[in-house]
Structure 1
Amino acid sequence: MNKRVPVPVNPPHPGRRRFLKGTVAAGALLGANLSGFGTSFASSGPQGGPVTLMDPGSQQKFVNPLPIPPRIYATSDSPLTIPIGATAQWMGLVDAQGTQLRTPVYGLGVAGQFTTPGPTIIARQNETVHVNWQNQLPDDRPHLLPVDTGMHIPDVNSPDGQFSAQKPVVIHLHGGHSEAESDGNPLAWYTQGYQSTGPEFAKQEYQYDNTQEAMGAWYHDHTVGMTRLNVHAGLHGMYLIKDDNEQRLIDNDILPSDHHMIDISITDALFDDQGQLYYPGWHGQPINPITQKAIQDSWPNPSILDEFFGNFILVNGMVWPKMDVEANKYRFRLLNASSSRTYVLEFENKMPFYQLGSDGGFLDKPVQLTQLVISPAERMDVLVDFTQAAGSQIILRNHGPEIPFRGFVDPADPANATKLVYNEDGERSISDGHGGLAPIASPDNTGVIMRFDVAEASDAIPAQAAQFTETVPLRTPYQPIARDNVAVVRQLIVYPQDDDLGRELNLLGTPESGSVFFMDPVTENVALNTTEVWEVYNATASGHPIHVHQVQFEVIDRQEFDWEFTPREQPLMNTGRTFEGATIELQGVKGDRVLPQPNEQGRKDTVIALPGQVTRIIAHFDLPGEYVWHCHIITHEDYDMMRKFVVT
């Protein structure tokens, strides 16, 4: 076994819905390790009594500096051990007296501390990195958040059913081109000291070969039936790959140096009045103030809910922070780490910015935007030039909906590629009863992300900063995935259902299989080293961010379609119960094909499958083994909107 060596760490940087009708179209390191959280730890757990939710209006905005996660520069000769544990972290919350409230979370460790988000790991192209994600979660207290034990979850001895002892985890490198054994299979979970392991657990030390070009991935927990809980509790962080081309752009002052490259991970949350994370699920406790969905008496206690939306916005684990920036250009590595929320980001002054890349790396050339749609699990690499904003304060706002995203392209106006369509009348807010489909984020809380305080101009500003345009080449000409040798075109369907208790249950499947569960027989058997087109037909009323493991795909287009929905009785997993499943007969497409947005025209691993539309993607599968594809609204993924695919 390779000898463990110290890990280099950089200093902190300054500074219920129904289906559609078939004809409808930062400062210092975060946190500190604590031996226990005290009697208030389990306020949203099995011992929790009455809960009072914290009012987001009780907290000041733009007071605390944006924290910058520590960075680990990984190398092939220095295997990493990243501990996973419990801590209490200050997230910017205070009580009525102004006393800081520390929030119990799960974090990832570096330099003797656990933080959420965890450290940003920076690797080089084609340099293999080994990581041992070491589970140190405590075995003397219940899980931080309420676990619905009636679902497909790890088979771990848990006397009270709430994982008061062993707590399973498994880390997935999202966006990684990883061998199957290191991919973070949801059934490859393990507990502290590997006391218990999942049926597909394969190895303790994961291998990442980093064969992609420069890109921004992220890592997060992927435990079957518990991903929403472990990620929301804090188990996620960024993973960046660098290459010679990126260094060339930096050396030629086309891109800022790493000192002006800032990781920005956006999440939403609910808190109780003690500053603890609140996750609805237990009977008799408050419902989610945004979704307003009550837990029925006939449901399990606790129960999963179909989505989670919080009324607090956090950036790098801090509620509504501010960041002091120079009158200069900055590169922001954006990540939407939220469970269900899609953000539509825009500077309050309508200032333009450039998107440099998406999930899988650089675009050919920058795309100038004033508004950016980023769905759960997507990453965006953007350049913001504050040169002309010297001495000002600029708020980054969110115009996204308070429900899962439902569309941003008007098929009647495809040329207007950045137009957002939430309502039939084209307005971005609820109108007076006319076609209102999506309540927009509140301008007082969820519509606000953070603020940038720009310093006065200085002579240190490079001349190139003001000259950056959409004509700047970012890479050698993009070589699209060859479309003249497609082995298979698959038709995949997003099925809308409710389970036998009336809880929303979105499932995946094919026209032949009908709606199926994660552990039903595999329908996506892929031949090694072949290219396939996947057509994802979304028959639900919401957009779903679809993520495919192993590959970086390309978005071909989207198009409206017609279908016939036929209910059928089928088993509900292995519960011995039945529910009303479905089959869908596809009846053809209609209207024009809508090309991907300009900033979707690179390599991606997550794409929004819009309601009433087929979303076509193309991918080349060159690694053997068992992988998964799923919706990245992770409440959907956990129950049970995930399927295996096997490459042989």
Structure 2
Amino acid sequence: MGMGPARTVQRRRTGRLAGWLAGAVGLALAAGGALVAAPPSPPPAAASVGGTSVTILIERGDATQGFSTPTVTVAGDGTLSVTNLDTYDHTVTSVALDSAGVPLFDVKVLHGTTMAIPAVDGLASGTYEFYCRFHPNMRGTLVVDRAGGGTTGVEPAYDQSLVVPSVLTGSHLRLRMREAHVRVLPTGPRTPMWTYAGTWPGPTIRRPAGRDTRVTFINDLPRGAGAMSVHLHGDHHAAKDDGQPTRFLIQRGRSRTYHYPLTYGGEPEPSSFFWYHDHRMDHTARNNWRGLQGMFVVKDADGRTLRLPTGARDVPLMVADRSFNEGNRLANPFAAGPQMVHRHGEMRFTGEHAPPNDATTGTHVLVNGRYLPHLDVSATRYRLRLLNASSASAYTFALSDGRPLIQIGTGNGLLPRPVARPELLLGPAQRADVLVDFHGEEGTRVALRSVPRTDSTAGTGSRTAPLMQFRVQGAARDPSLLPTRLPTPELVRAPRRVTKTWRFDLTGDPRTGSAWTINGRAFDPDRVDHRARLGTVERWRLRNTSDVTHYVHIHAEQWRTLSRDGRRPPPWERGLEDTWKLDPGEVVEVAARFTDYTGAFMIHCHMLDHEDHGMMARFDVVP
């Protein structure tokens, strides 16, 4: 991704990418063809308009179709504005950054309004890519044609060191939720945030599979924060320990102990990469935005047996976006806007900005709570555990030199075999376990970036942003290996008949009130939308009938992906999962055996505004 003028947002494919992929595939073929390469698809083309007074037009439906005027030219002292005729809010955000790491222009335009983009007045002659932060598949090009100098984009300095969160390993841990001032941006004051144990992210918990674990959370947050609920995302545990949205809440000044046996059907869980976060009804997006997030690694003997990278070469990376006001304080996107109200047991969304605020996104994309950090690495193999902890943004991860990310697992365990991926898409709450090989790269600098999504033109796209930089130092002893096959847990045999269909949509009239819904109904915590019997295997169908992408999370079990649009899932979806991408019109079928625990569990969109605004349902596991 080029950061200055005259550089396109689409990543240039170099011969080096082909070389890396060829090397990875060649390695696999030499070992019996165990490694699968996943090539990208080309992006579509677009039309243009221009003049001295130019308007970027967003028409109804452009959230899926893209800007109606995707290419605009501003000549001389011309002006630029944007008119939004859609029913959704949008932004026009520059890909290029200034010297402070801020987009050269970033304007939010509410539906039915027109906004000027004054920052264009100071830009130097050149070409600048832009996109919508809420719907990143909407992309365009601005050409500035004028004499004289002006502002241009600059490459990030990556001048902060990456912070790897502290690690807790005890069997009974205590984490205090409290406000703290944490270092996020490289200069200026620290940022006040709500934290687990005073840091963001909170401490990473590492526990052996099958070892009983208890975590006590104490709510010492400010009075206005309210009650909290903690969900260990991806784990298999009792309903009372699941982070219920309305029950078993942790009131201010009180504590609650959560019990995580880290077993499944009486056996140790597979090696996994979970995360813990707030799950309070109506406030999940706000509480996560304020900082209540942390990572949880379940380890087993496979890492040692397979000789995967360990210690300082096993690096968890939490990626999340935020926006900031003066004094490095978090922006508050929840201060105004529409409200969720209850009518006859249903949740309805009303107010000035109905339909629901589609997405809470930030101007800064952070890694482990730092903006544009770097990590010094040796010229060896590294294991990166990638987590997208954003409320709404998706990221397509790619390395700047074109080398592939070798995916060996999901957040719920290892895949049957490694997959060489030049790009790797993760939506909110999704995780990936990848290997990166820096052998022979002494003295080089490799950036990890999010690039435009290329696998679909119908779905909501991924952010364009630099994330962090790897600074490759000298060679070092490396006992790790790239495995050709991986031990995976036995996958459940699914029935042919679909037991339950869940349909994700926007229901209601945008002018008078609407809600994100499942099967046409907004969330009601007292309504049971499905009952599954303990010990049985069910096949569920997830169908997206809305015009935006959703990322659907199912609690309680570890799920097998059976099909995507009637076809066998891609290689990276053939392990266990808990969160799936659903593009508009897409259908995914999954299966699980309901094991160990009865009680109430949730299915919901993990784009947290959608969850808070109705797109959640309750299912009960019954004896």
1:131 corresponds to 2:215: yes
1:644 corresponds to 2:618: yes
Query: After superposition, what is the alpha-carbon deviation per residue over 1:530-581, rounded to whole angstroms, capped at 9, x for unaligned?
Result: 111110111011221111111111111122xxxxxxxxxxxxxxxxxxxxxx
Change (3 A) 1:345 1:503: farther
Normalised TM-score (structure 1): 0.67
Displacement of 1:521 after TM fit? 2.6
Q: What secondary structure does 1:599 align onto? A: helix
Displacement of 1:524 after TM fit? 1.0
Query: After superposition, what is the alpha-carbon deviation per residue over 1:356-382, rounded to whole angstroms, capped at 9, x for unaligned?
Result: 110210112211111101111011111
1:548 corresponds to 2:554: yes
Equivalent in the alignment of 1:215: 272
Equivalent in the alignment of 1:474: 486
1:455 corresponds to 2:473: yes
2:333 is matched by which residue type in structure 1? Answer: P
Displacement of 1:422 after TM fit? 2.3
Equivalent in the alignment of 1:420: 455
Aligned with residue 173 of structure 1, among 232, 238, 248: 232
Equivalent in the alignment of 1:379: 431
Q: What secondary structure does 2:305 align onto? A: helix
Equivalent in the alignment of 1:338: 390
Within 5 Å, give how 1:13-28 maps onto structure 2. none
Equivalent in the alignment of 1:576: none
Equivalent in the alignment of 1:583: none
Matched residues in 1 for 2:499 and 2:493: separation? 14
Equivalent in the alignment of 1:276: 329
Equivalent in the alignment of 1:568: none
Give the conservation status (yes or no) of the 8 Å contact 1:20–1:540: no
Displacement of 1:280 after TM fit? 2.3
- CA-based RMSD: 2.7
Matched residues in 2 for 1:242 and 1:502: separation? 50
Gaps of 5+ in 2: 1-58, 65-95, 102-155, 264-268, 338-348
Q: What secondary structure does 1:247 align onto? A: helix
Displacement of 1:124 after TM fit? 1.1
Aligned with residue 166 of structure 2, among 70, 75, 82: 70
Equivalent in the alignment of 2:422: 370
Matched residues in 2 for 1:270 and 1:61: separation? 19
Give the conservation status (yes or no) of the 8 Å contact 1:20–1:539: no
Matched residues in 2 for 1:297 and 1:178: separation? 36
Matched residues in 1 for 2:183 and 2:416: separation? 40
Change (3 A) 1:282 1:396: same
Aligned with residue 493 of structure 1, among 490, 498, 503: 503
Query: After superposition, what is the alpha-carbon deviation per residue over 1:424-471, rounded to whole angstroms, capped at 9, x for unaligned?
Result: xxxxxxxxxxxxx767644xxxx2111111113x2x333755xx26x2
Displacement of 1:298 after TM fit? 4.9
1:90 corresponds to 2:174: no
Equivalent in the alignment of 2:364: 312
Matched residues in 1 for 2:334 and 2:221: separation? 22
Give the conservation status (yes or no) of the 8 Å contact 2:460–2:548: no
Q: What secondary structure does 2:226 align onto? A: coil
Equivalent in the alignment of 1:431: none
Give the conservation status (yes or no) of the 8 Å contact 2:319–2:366: yes
Equivalent in the alignment of 2:380: 328
Change (3 A) 1:646 1:17: farther
Equivalent in the alignment of 1:565: none
Equivalent in the alignment of 2:246: 187
Aligned with residue 357 of structure 1, among 390, 409, 412: 409
Displacement of 1:503 after TM fit? 6.2
2:181 is matched by which residue type in structure 1? Answer: A
Give the conservation status (yes or no) of the 8 Å contact 1:219–1:236: yes
Q: What secondary structure does 1:184 align onto? A: coil
Displacement of 1:297 after TM fit? 12
1:393 corresponds to 2:445: yes
Displacement of 1:305 after TM fit? 2.2
Normalised TM-score (structure 2): 0.69
Matched residues in 1 for 2:414 and 2:404: separation? 19
Aligned-pair identity in percent equals 29
Matched residues in 2 for 1:18 and 1:496: separation? 14
1:106 is matched by which residue type in structure 2? Answer: W
Give the conservation status (yes or no) of the 8 Å contact 1:17–1:504: no
Gaps of 5+ in 1: 1-15, 22-54, 95-99, 140-162, 195-202, 285-295, 402-418, 424-436, 560-592
Give the conservation status (yes or no) of the 8 Å contact 2:393–2:462: no
- Corresponding pairs, count: 460
Give the conservation status (yes or no) of the 8 Å contact 2:552–2:604: yes
Matched residues in 2 for 1:183 and 1:342: separation? 25
Give the conservation status (yes or no) of the 8 Å contact 1:61–1:319: no
Within 5 Å, give how 1:429-448 maps onto structure 2. 441-442=463-464, 447-448=465-466
Aligned with residue 635 of structure 1, among 595, 606, 609: 609
Equivalent in the alignment of 1:535: 541
Change (3 A) 1:480 1:282: closer
Matched residues in 1 for 2:350 and 2:551: separation? 31
Give the conservation status (yes or no) of the 8 Å contact 1:123–1:240: yes
Q: What secondary structure does 2:326 align onto? A: coil
Change (3 A) 1:18 1:503: farther
2:322 is matched by which residue type in structure 1? Answer: A
Give the conservation status (yes or no) of the 8 Å contact 1:175–1:218: yes
Equivalent in the alignment of 1:256: 309
Matched residues in 2 for 1:300 and 1:438: separation? 21
Displacement of 1:248 after TM fit? 2.0
Query: After superposition, what is the alpha-carbon deviation per residue over 1:192-245, rounded to whole angstroms, capped at 9, x for unaligned?
Result: 223xxxxxxxx9211000011111111000001000011111001111111122
Q: What secondary structure does 2:407 align onto? A: strand
1:474 is matched by which residue type in structure 2? Answer: L
Give the conservation status (yes or no) of the 8 Å contact 2:184–2:370: yes
Change (3 A) 1:180 1:464: closer
Matched residues in 1 for 2:159 and 2:62: separation? 43
Matched residues in 1 for 2:461 and 2:304: separation? 43
Displacement of 1:647 after TM fit? 0.3
Equivalent in the alignment of 1:199: none
Displacement of 1:397 after TM fit? 1.3
Change (3 A) 1:340 1:283: closer
Query: After superposition, what is the alpha-carbon deviation per residue over 1:103-123, rounded to whole angstroms, capped at 9, x for unaligned?
Result: 1101111xxxx0010000011
Change (3 A) 1:367 1:132: same
Change (3 A) 1:422 1:19: closer
Q: What secondary structure does 2:256 align onto? A: coil
Aligned with residue 117 of structure 1, among 201, 213, 227: 201
Q: What secondary structure does 1:246 align onto? A: helix
Give the conservation status (yes or no) of the 8 Å contact 2:184–2:369: yes
1:207 is matched by which residue type in structure 2? Answer: H
Give the conservation status (yes or no) of the 8 Å contact 1:496–1:505: yes
Equivalent in the alignment of 2:284: 227
Equivalent in the alignment of 2:139: none
Q: What secondary structure does 2:244 align onto? A: coil
Change (3 A) 1:282 1:483: closer
Give the conservation status (yes or no) of the 8 Å contact 1:281–1:304: no
Matched residues in 1 for 2:205 and 2:241: separation? 16
